[in-house]
Amino acid sequence: MAATSAGTIDITAVVDRNPIGSFQRLTLALCGLVLIIDGFDVQAIGYVAPAIVAEWQVGKGALSVLFTVSVAGAIIGSLLLGILADRWGRRPVLIGSTLFFGLGMLSTAWARSFEELQWIRLITNIGLGGVMANAMALAGEYSPARWRVTLMMLISCGYTFGAAIGGLVAAVLIPSFGWRSVFVFGGIAPLVIAAAMLVWLPESMQLIIARGWSTQRIAGWLKRIDPAVEAGPATRYHRPDVTKGRLADLFRDGRAPMTLILFAICFMNLLDLTFLSNWVPTVLRGMDFSQTNAVLAGTTLQIGGTIGTVVMGILIDRLGFARVLVPCFLAAAIGIVLLGNPMGSIAIVFAAAFVAGFGIIGGQPAVNAFAGTRYPTTLRATVIGWGLGIGRLGALSGLMGSGALMAQQWPIGLIFVLVAIPALISAILTAVIVGIKWTPESTAPDLAATVPARN
């Protein structure tokens, strides 16, 4: 048994010293599944956009508004639900968010006008905005330290995998059943996953201890991780930290420089990620590539992100964040430029989409994992949620700016050159942030505190 004193259990030490068992694999699988459908549902609007344009005869300016309100909903969800989860629990917020956006996706399929579609997407994406931060935080807390970054990035890979699946599903469903069928598919799946989480998903044990909630369930969960652990009513638990999960805590005790730079990286990277995910199929269709090739190029972007997430997760554990992320962001900048200037070559389109996706989409899970490993338990969902929320402000500004430039008939190639600049900035900021020496342990004065079991 991992203990700090007689009768005291250190939950983090128990997780760290044991192999990953079936209980943790099930928890990680549920987090991965909800991120798969999260990625599918977020990206679905980009894949169906050409079909929506054809049905309702809307221009790129109106399409830009649709993309923008979708991101606005996700911003609200990210900023609000991350904080609520650190206060009320990861499990109820994650399950509630999944139910909410599942019902919203089904509602999207019955939108009667373009204006109604915009309102539904705004509301639906509030639920979508609460998924990533909570799934990532929970996955990190059930992963041993030696595998934490790799596992968090593999779980995040579910998002990009879901987005890639969305392209394949859209390519099959839209010609036969229309664009609404994509949202029917995307609405039923999260309802099933939410039911599974309701039965099998545990709460964060570290958060329960830090908040002083009832510890009755912890003994059973620990037993499934390490059968040798003996816990009962008299057991005391090592308190992981004493922060309260408030936004202000992200800027206290020496955290401010890291938090500000992290938010800036999220802003820049999600500007690029959202622009590419939403506009690539429509822009390529406007370049006279076929609808199938346009959708498949968007899928290649997501496949590149999926592979990038897996490869980066393995490399970061060996080489560190900077040595992996910096060159990937630089390569992605080149890919973005070529994607907007393919010279009529479909081969360049697919190659550039893969490289851009590898660095930009694959890089975001690495940024999330960096946050999840550098902040205390009670701040993890808050920092990831606010990082994604600030990042989506970047996404919002990118969509609004690019929509305005397209409305003014700016050359598409030049717009993509401008979009490559944030990737260069992300590379520079990543090189800076890894040099900050602050760690969660150095700023938690009551780290060795213990709390008794509570019924």
Closest CA to 93 of 84, 80, 106: 84
pLDDT of residue 146: 82
The reply to whether 455 falls in a domain is no
pLDDT of residue 162: 87
Question: Residue 454 pLDDT more than 60?
Answer: no
Tell me how many degrees the CA angle 233-208-375 measures, rounded to the nearest 5. Answer: 140
More confident residue, 361 or 246: 361
Partners of 450 in the beta sheet? 238
**Residue 305 buriedness (CB in 10 A; 0-12 / 13-18 / 19+):** buried
Cα Rg for the chain, rounded, in angstroms? 22
pLDDT of residue 441: 41
Q: Which long-range contacts (CB under 8 A, 24 or more apart) does 58-61 make?
A: 58/114, 60/282, 60/403, 60/406, 60/407, 61/403, 61/406, 61/407
Question: Residue 449 pLDDT more than 50?
Answer: no
**What confidence tens digit (pLDDT) does each residue in 279-291 have?**
888 888 888 888 7
Q: Per-residue pLDDT averaged across 303-315, rounded?
A: 87
Residue with tokens 């309100």: 69
Question: Residue 221 pLDDT more than 60?
Answer: yes
More confident residue, 1 or 331: 331
Q: Per-residue pLDDT averaged across 389-406, rounded?
A: 85
Question: Residue 231 pLDDT more than 50?
Answer: yes
Pairing mode, strands 450-452 and 236-238: antiparallel
- Residue 43's CB is within 10 A of a number of other CB atoms, namely 26
The reply to whether 84 falls in a domain is yes
pLDDT of residue 102: 94
- Residue 242, domain extent: 3-443
Under the banding of pLDDT at 50, 70 and 90, the label for residue 240 is: low
The reply to whether 48 falls in a domain is yes
The reply to whether 132 falls in a domain is yes
The reply to whether 188 falls in a domain is yes
Query: Looking at the whole model, is its pTM more than 0.75?
Result: no
Calculate the alpha carbon distances from 189 to 33, 101, 214 in Å: 10, 11, 32
Task: Please name the amino acid found at residue 425.
Answer: I
The reply to whether 449 falls in a domain is no
Q: Per-residue pLDDT averaged across 258-262, rounded?
A: 91
Under the banding of pLDDT at 50, 70 and 90, the label for residue 121 is: very high
Contacts of 318 (CB under 8 A, 6+ apart): none
The reply to whether 224 falls in a domain is yes
- The tally of domains found in the chain comes to 1
Where residue 302 sits, what CATH number does that domain have? 1.20.1250.20
CA separation for the pair 60, 124 (Å, rounded): 22
Question: Residue 198 pLDDT more than 90?
Answer: yes
The reply to whether 60 falls in a domain is yes
